[in-house]
Structure 1
Amino acid sequence: MFGIGGGQGARQFTELGLALLLSSLIGLERELQQKSAGLRTHTLVGVGSALFVEVSLHGFGPANGLTGTGFDGSRVAAQIVSGIGFIGGGLIFVRRDAVRGLTTAATIWLTCAVGMACGGGLPLLAAAAAVVHFLVVRGFPLLTRRLTAVPTVERFELLLSYRTRRGVLGRVLELCTSQGFRVTDVHIHSEAREGESGKGKGKGREAEVVLGLEGRKPAHPLVEELTDWEGVLDVGLRAHRDSTE
């Protein structure tokens, strides 16, 4: 039971060590990106997958010698592939109209495959898969920025404080569409506070609205024009908060 050999030799420990190294490198990249699954999660997934494969290859050897028994080591590997989906599914969630965590869930899936390759005695394939991860996650965004001739669609939010009963909101929406921006969301704060001259019915009140916009051009000229409008009290711009990573 405690002897060296029979599935507990230097090769098996080396394979587990390689799984530890490669999965830690992948997890470290996710940790630096401040993702929900970081260094510890990826390392445990990689080493655990490698250990499962080691057990499937060497742990059931004595049972094969018994009469009327048979063992297929690929069954354990198949269960690893299906079981890792529970962790990946827990990393994916929807916020508004955007899905987040897809890349991290796919990375968990890849780390599982890297660990299985290490445990199965395929170190070159495991190392190649780890290199592919860094190429896709870190290199592809830089490549797509250089190859894309058409400007990418930028998503941002326009924060506007204005005085009501002057048709400001309708004119703002018309301006955004005429400038080539697509309005994806309109959120008006439910509580409007009285302005300095809000006692009269015709004077209007202050209101705040957040407009979700998409466009292929900078939005700063839009903000500069709105600052000169009568009835506009404050204008702000911020990046869209949703992400698919």
Structure 2
Amino acid sequence: MTGVSVELVPLVVAFVLSSMIGIEREMRHKVAGLRTHALVGMGAAMFMLISKYGFDDILDPGRVILNPSQLSGQIVTGIGFLGGGIIFVRHGSARGIITAASIWVVAAVGMAAGAGLYTLAVAGTIGELIITLAYTPVTERLRRNQDVVGELALTYRQGTGVLRQAMTELTRIGCTVEALSVLPTSDAADTVCVVLEVRGPTKMTEIATNLAQIPGVVAARTGPASNATYAH
């Protein structure tokens, strides 16, 4: 293989294989999905290529003057601590993984450029942009195909902040509200009934059970308001 092929072929293989693994993880709604796996796989390949080919100009044939690959290992370790500081977990949901993986790849791009592997650095940059930009609608489509869509009628007492808490809870469990309407209620005058069209990976009955635990909720019902399953 030519010099360019030696750099690009391993990078492309890592990109494709890590993406295949990421798709499987994405379809199972794992925290680290398609983009994270693709970024980490490509970044690891770049670090390996840098260690293999990035220091030829300071090595004599047949005699090692120094071990420059140690520098690569130290940078990888340092970036790992930086990425770990970006990731945080709240209510069982992790945030910042894509950013941490992106910073890791950016470090690899900088190392490649500093080592004079300009083709590798450019290719890594293009790959990172493809993952973070073009893969986003792909991940959304994969998740939407697996999501459950249903209606949820929520009756609650006014002035208790229930709707805000309900939206927060839906976001926490990975659901989105695609439509919202207010229905008249025959209950007490201080109650409100809203119908939410919810999309998410969780069954509507489980969502209703969770929302029914919010203080101020009178009832949470799945399905159309006129033919619903109640949760109190």
Same fold, judged at TM 0.5 (above) = no
Structure number with larger C-alpha Rg: 1
The TM-score, its normalising length taken from structure 2, stands at: 0.44
Q: Higher helix fraction: Structure 1 or Structure 2? A: 2
